[in-house]
Amino acid sequence: MSDVALLTGFVRRMAPAGAVTVLATPSTLALLPGADAACQAQLDAFAGQFSVFPAFQRRWRWHAMLQAQLAALLARLAAHEPEWGCVYLYLEGAFSKRYFPAPAARATATGLATGRRDCRTGTADLDGAVRVFGNASAQGLVLQPSPGGDSYHCYQPATGLLGIGRGSTDLQRMRGAVLEYCERWAGSTIPPTARHATYAELGEAAWRPDQVTGVPPGQMALLFPGFDAGQPMHWLPCRLVHAGVERLLPLPMINYLLAPERPFSHGQNSNGCALGSTPEEAALFGALELIERDGLLLAWYSRSAPPRFAAASIASAPLRQRYCQLALAGYDVLCFDITTEVALPAVMVLLLGRGEGRLAAFVTAACHPDPEEAMAAALGEAHSLVGVTERNLARQRRRHGDDALDHLRDSAQAQFYGLASQRHHFDFLAAAPETLAWQDFAAAHARSADTALRGPAAAWQMLCAHAARAEYELVVADITPPGLPALGLHGARVFIPGTLPLTFGDKPLCLPPGRPARAARHCAWVDADADLSQPLLHPLG
């Protein structure tokens, strides 16, 4: 008899019917408590055939020691209620308990009134996510602090996928790393709803990349070298919010890590991707990221100085604390209102370094329905990233010398603009006078802030209405990977055709024609006649 037959026969004799499900092949052995078909299907979708674990670790044969190990495990399982969402995988000669997001009855998060300023429902099982995507994950992940201890890494050794989490506590850093890993994992999968066809076969049901980004069709070959209308590829159904229709978009535009060795476009990144406790919450935060970056790029490419906040007018204690922390770290802190015609509060923070070891300049931005949350997010991101960027730039200097750092233009723009030689590019911002009182900014967005308190569904509806008034379509893709809804998490990727999408590195840019003039009709700070034919490399990333 085969090893698989000997093992399954032993389990049938030792365990009551339905107590465990044996998952055995000649190369892999696992025991799943219970006999729930949905649970097994979810495990398969989450972990596949456990192929992320090296074959030598999964090797097994039927022998006396394995029989004793199996008998002990079955006895232990029989003595306790089955634990939901775990599987016992045979690795390196012993059973290893591994977790996955098992389907479970969860109360549906409605996104109704929450009273939270951050516009999150807060219903996701983040502790469960840390367990499922931690060191005992069925995906074989490594969750650990960085060498400096200022961040956590959630890493998949088999695929190279990495999530980095920062924050003020270990728990925040762990959760952040796990959530970023989940977002990137989503960007590497082919959803079951994807269709495989050529553009010609799909006809009007499909949108080309130039339609998604709002650039002229003649630029498509330059900007999207991986698109070929005659070649079959995967397409994902997406929702056009205002048109009320569904269109198919090229999957590589959405799930940007499908084939990183063969880039579909020069803008392969997570711009517009987000997780949330509901589909609306995920779409909301994906769209807010696009609006924030559009405002920053609009100011940078057009060399238009947005209204600068009077620092003394920022009276909120949490905001003052963040502001002072950055000042004590050796930076002048300049804050700007980069709100565009979408009319949701957006803030840009510029740090100008003082003295040795500080970055010459560093930029962050944030958009949120609540203006205080927008400012807190921009200042908080600056506080969490500036030290890491300082250390990374110092390493580059030691490795290459001060005169050989041009490669940072394409690999680490934030470090490149940290060089003293690049500081003059920020003169148009540094010279801007303080003209905007924080109280006036907050009052102008008071209704938006009130809507945020009603929860993400209300905020999403408001954002959609604002975008419609500004004549922008919202394109939403569901990128939720298998198992995440069991943890109360959903993923979305959003596109806003006609706005400025973020491209990292010194590469050809998506620049929808007439973007400055369109914004200038609503935003007095934008130079309508700005020449975007040769835009300056932006300072993010």
pTM higher than the cut 0.75 = yes
- In a shared domain, residues 86 and 155: no
Number of domains in the chain: 3
Residue 539 lies in a domain: no
318-347 as b/e: b if 16+ CB within 10 A: ebeebbeebeebbbebbbbbbbbbbbbbbb
Residue 273 lies in a domain: no
Could you tell me which residues come within 8 angstroms of residue 104 by beta carbon, excluding any fewer than 6 positions away?
A: 84, 85, 486
- In a shared domain, residues 13 and 131: no
- In a shared domain, residues 407 and 366: yes
- In a shared domain, residues 83 and 149: no
Question: Which of 80, 99, 118 is the last residue in one of the domains?
Answer: 99
- In a shared domain, residues 302 and 406: yes
Residue 461 lies in a domain: yes
49, 55 contact by CB (below 8 A): no
Residue 206 lies in a domain: no
The answer on pLDDT for 74 being more than 90 is yes
Question: Token digits for 105?
Answer: 């009855």
Sheet-wide strand order for 361-367: 361-367, 346-353, 331-337, 308-309, 434-436
The answer on pLDDT for 203 being more than 70 is yes
Question: Which of 135, 166, 187 is the last residue in one of the domains?
Answer: 187
- In a shared domain, residues 381 and 421: yes
Q: Give which of 275, 232, 271, 240 is closest to 253, Cα–Cα.
A: 271
Q: Say how many C-beta atoms besides its own lie within 10 A of residue 63's C-beta.
A: 11
Residue 211 lies in a domain: no
Domain containing 158 equals 126-187
- In a shared domain, residues 95 and 182: no
Average pLDDT over residues 219-226: 94
How much is the pLDDT for 114? 65
How much is the pLDDT for 267? 85
Separation between Cα atoms, residue 288 and residue 368, nearest integer Å: 6
Read off the CATH number of the domain in which 308 is found: 3.30.160.660
538, 292 contact by CB (below 8 A): no
- In a shared domain, residues 375 and 454: yes
490-521: per-residue pLDDT in tens? 999 999 999 999 999 999 999 999 999 999 99
Q: How confident is the model at residue 110 (pLDDT cuts 50, 70, 90)?
A: very low
Residue 210 lies in a domain: no
- In a shared domain, residues 337 and 292: yes
Q: Give which of 491, 490, 492 is closest to 106, Cα–Cα.
A: 490
Residue 134 lies in a domain: yes
- In a shared domain, residues 89 and 132: no
Q: How confident is the model at residue 108 (pLDDT cuts 50, 70, 90)?
A: very low
Query: How would you write 71-99 as a 3-class SS string?
Result: HHHHHHHHCCCCCCCEEEEEECCEEEEEE
- In a shared domain, residues 382 and 499: yes
Pairing of strands 308-309, 434-436: parallel
Residue 484 lies in a domain: yes
Q: How confident is the model at residue 104 (pLDDT cuts 50, 70, 90)?
A: low
- In a shared domain, residues 497 and 351: yes
